[in-house]
Structure 1
């Protein structure tokens, strides 16, 4: 395929490249995105990055990646994050120079802390303008955005010559997709984007170069197999990075009759009604999960694909971090957080568990496949009286019960994620049917950095990556006021995203955290806001839910089929205390 650069006019009056013209750098970059199967580039256009949008316009006409215009650059990064989790393909976001680039940083930092691969492209003024106070200059002689991205990317470079594009793009993408994964950043001056490329088409096949590695520590796997042979009562802890291997992990747990728990970000990978499931361990977790790990009869704990951060380790609890622990992970950074473990097993998790299955099948040490019926591992939520504000617990129960099994749920930072992790349990028919490349489950959360509003943009990216089922974004009124404008993108793209706003006229986690800590009650109140009216003003369908009766009256089937977003403004009981005990224990008292 040949991409070109000279200007002409199409029927709409826009410039387009002629077949006889040479490929420019922006076109070459987009050609590589086409090669990778990238469908969307999320961003906000501007002068310094306009050649990239020109190339995207041409690409979209031939079925390649097309631009999705976010309302704020942070939202663009959140969308790229959601797209990556859903599809397994690299999420791409872009921004112009100066404030466009700085607006991206929160979303990029979130992806960095959560290990989400992402390609970040920012513009710069033309190179001859460096050092002359060009408009929105963000080079080393202006507001140095390259330096700002240094600490939240896995690769970060300015392309100062056209010949650098291919080498630096390949290096960046390999860093993004190899452990430790994360976002990578290329800053490209305007004149470089316009420059002719030295090649007529991509010189390299990135699909082959970026294939996941199956390397592992063979000796450690053999030792792990021996420990499992000897274990009388093992327990599995399933982390958020088990997506590719979850079927193999659960199959081994079943054949060993081993109970399993999940981290908060791993809950979405399993069926909460599985008979061996004992709940979530960590932030907003369950007493049943804590109890199984503290059981003195448990002689081996396999922690798989867990970063061992504050939320996934229950505030670095000694019920997990002890000498019964075996930590299995692709990331050496994660393994370094468990020096007390009796064994560390490094490598691709899927390959490790395939080897374990081979080991046990050869020795016939496994029990027959588990055939017990699925059970409700956690107590059901009692029905709520029809009058009065909605209990958040009941809302989570109803969301899980009413929406179809294909639904993706994203829970935003704050009380939203606490209520969802603890109480959301959807009806799952086939928990492993997430698409062959998806790295998310039915519930997606953000650990570590946890910015407010992540789920709003993330839900848009998720829906673009998988338009076949509804996406439910569980968010708070504070997050909606901060980033709710991205609902307008779902309107423009006609996406079936249901924004569920927990409306309690407060920054809920701040409010309840202050109360639980005995701190001053200050700076948490928000004015009453009619989010349904705001959503309708942007073109979305919307409903105000004042009580359980209003919730029961919703036609969820129609909402799940509606070609566009729907907002549910749910007036929740503001006095219900969220399950944030782990967070409070780590913070300690504010007095």
Structure 2
């Protein structure tokens, strides 16, 4: 039966003829603009629905070059918008190609909807082409380990309930959902009366544990020396959280993935604690403050500096809106499990506004972050990575977003990259609670903390750029990562996105090479061929630049490169001898010397 629905949020009139239309209708309700994927026979009906939707101004298909790239794009889109990213793949190898991206989203708390196709139901168990049901290569079984919600729709009557459950699970848990749908089910007619309205249901509940919050207030009042440890979960509350730090005179440190939330010149900021972090942050915790309050921090190897006892002790109070994060700190003296915006409103109401005379002024702003000294750079030598970070810190536009790939790109960005902008110095009041979809992520630096595949940033940069075309994206990636997933630059070209891909090119898997050296291990398996990535990009029609020396870097104008339409690639020959800040990782592996 054909039904029609008008999406109140977007003014779309999308006819709902079959299950595929129903999926697209619900995506439109949540304001999702793009579905990233690679077409195939087992998902053709969904692509047909997306074609109809695009003509009506609704969600449209973005064709990736590989299914893992599609998942990485959906990841980047979700990080920027707060809405679930959507990726789609055909049955069999299309679905298995996408698993790494979905697993990455699970371990990094990114809301994702993964849709995979299946052959027609009657062909199950008969060795159909690319059968990936329980009778073939069991894709639902594989996704059970990397999706919060995972289901196969085996009857049209299940479609509405399972699609809605998948979407709402992703919104509420901020983790992936997976739906596997046989192609004949996708074509099946649906009759759902009335259709659900998901926008309100997708909001995360504004729950506040008042008793636990009041205990936190008491502890804050009693403590003389306080430290706020800010995690990536604070993107929606960073303004009120900085305001609270002023009111209670708390010093600030951040996890590596929350570095982009705080201005590095903030007078209370002591830098990053964790992977590739700063000595000033370590020293602050080593001084044994009375209280360390971790807000929005998922405790892991990289966010806790290898489970350091300087952080994980009874002085810690762990505040989060995800219960699984709190499970990582059983030694903490107190836990607060609450909706963070609601909690911030409550906390600010308990502490007086700081007198204007004691607020930070430009004359007092200098920060406590200990910046390592850069080595001297010869004009005719390859570019030291630290000098490249210093150059990008000066030349990146204040509105730019940076995404750094797994490995040395993340290490250098966390340790050295600083974009001067308006973050965290202006006084801010809390916003209303209850919203779970934000307009623009406040974290300018996106990195992976746990499950960290090489090449993720290349696709994620596309998703970030599509979520907000007004702001350029800088993608920092290595030559090893680019050789894996560099073809996704073609999507940035097709979509005319303002993305600058900066390749740290040292003809090696740099983190492996330096890790072996620092651990005094055998030197093996890290060499890569000398590759001209700029020439590869030009062959695809992408503007590209070669920078082989430090002198050439100083002459380069990043603003001019970003001002031209479409993406560009900057192939930087880096000094292979400068050691990246990765010793914490070696210590966690037990290989540090």
Query: Is this a same-fold pair by TM over 0.5?
Result: yes
The equivalent residue for 1:371 is 360
The answer (yes or no) to whether the contact 2:267–2:360 under 8 Å persists in 1 is no
Instruction: Please point out which of 40, 45, 52 is paired with 1:51.
Output: 45
The equivalent residue for 1:420 is 413
The equivalent residue for 1:358 is 349
Residue segments in structure 2 that go unaligned for 5+ positions in a row: 5-12, 429-436
Per-residue deviation at 1:33? 0.8
SS in 1 for 2:351: helix
SS in 2 for 1:543: strand
Instruction: Please point out which of 337, 347, 366 is paired with 2:328.
Output: 337
Indicate how the Cα distance of structure 1 residues 576 and 129 shifts in structure 2: closer, same or farther if over 3 A, else same. same
**Rounded Cα–Cα distance in structure 2 between residues aligned with 1:140 and 1:347:** 39
**Rounded Cα–Cα distance in structure 2 between residues aligned with 1:350 and 1:369:** 25
Asked whether 1:164 is paired with 2:158, we answer: yes
The equivalent residue for 2:184 is 191
The equivalent residue for 1:24 is 18
Per-residue deviation at 1:176? 1.2
Asked whether 1:37 is paired with 2:52, we answer: no
Moved more, 22-31 or 106-115: 22-31
The equivalent residue for 1:300 is 291
**Rounded Cα–Cα distance in structure 1 between residues aligned with 2:56 and 2:358:** 49
The equivalent residue for 2:231 is 239
Asked whether 1:406 is paired with 2:415, we answer: no
SS in 2 for 1:224: helix
Per-residue deviation at 1:20? 12
Instruction: Please point out which of 505, 514, 517 is paired with 2:516.
Output: 514
- After the TM superposition, which residues 40-439 of structure 1 pair with which residues of structure 2 at under 5 Å, given as runs? 40-179=34-173, 181-199=174-192, 203-296=195-288, 298-361=289-352, 370-373=359-362, 374-376=365-367, 377-379=369-371, 382=374, 384-430=377-423, 436-439=438-441
Per-residue deviation at 1:28? 1.0
Per-residue deviation at 1:368? 6.3
Per-residue deviation, residues 369-424 of structure 1 (Å, max 9, x unmatched): 62232325343755734220101001011111101100000010000000000000
TM-score normalised by structure 2 residue count: 0.93
**Rounded Cα–Cα distance in structure 2 between residues aligned with 1:174 and 1:32:** 11
- After the TM superposition, which residues 444-459 of structure 1 pair with which residues of structure 2 at under 5 Å, given as runs? 444-459=446-461
Asked whether 1:544 is paired with 2:546, we answer: yes
Indicate how the Cα distance of structure 1 residues 515 and 380 shifts in structure 2: closer, same or farther if over 3 A, else same. closer
The answer (yes or no) to whether the contact 2:14–2:53 under 8 Å persists in 1 is no
**Rounded Cα–Cα distance in structure 2 between residues aligned with 1:87 and 1:411:** 18
Indicate how the Cα distance of structure 1 residues 229 and 20 shifts in structure 2: closer, same or farther if over 3 A, else same. closer
The answer (yes or no) to whether the contact 1:283–1:583 under 8 Å persists in 2 is yes
The answer (yes or no) to whether the contact 2:266–2:366 under 8 Å persists in 1 is yes
How many residue pairs were aligned? 571
Per-residue deviation at 1:212? 1.7
Indicate how the Cα distance of structure 1 residues 22 and 229 shifts in structure 2: closer, same or farther if over 3 A, else same. closer
The answer (yes or no) to whether the contact 1:278–1:292 under 8 Å persists in 2 is yes
**Rounded Cα–Cα distance in structure 2 between residues aligned with 1:333 and 1:572:** 40
Indicate how the Cα distance of structure 1 residues 20 and 282 shifts in structure 2: closer, same or farther if over 3 A, else same. closer
SS in 2 for 1:458: helix
Per-residue deviation at 1:590? 8.2
**Rounded Cα–Cα distance in structure 1 between residues aligned with 2:31 and 2:297:** 29
Asked whether 1:564 is paired with 2:572, we answer: no
**Rounded Cα–Cα distance in structure 2 between residues aligned with 1:347 and 1:22:** 39
Residue segments in structure 1 that go unaligned for 5+ positions in a row: 5-18
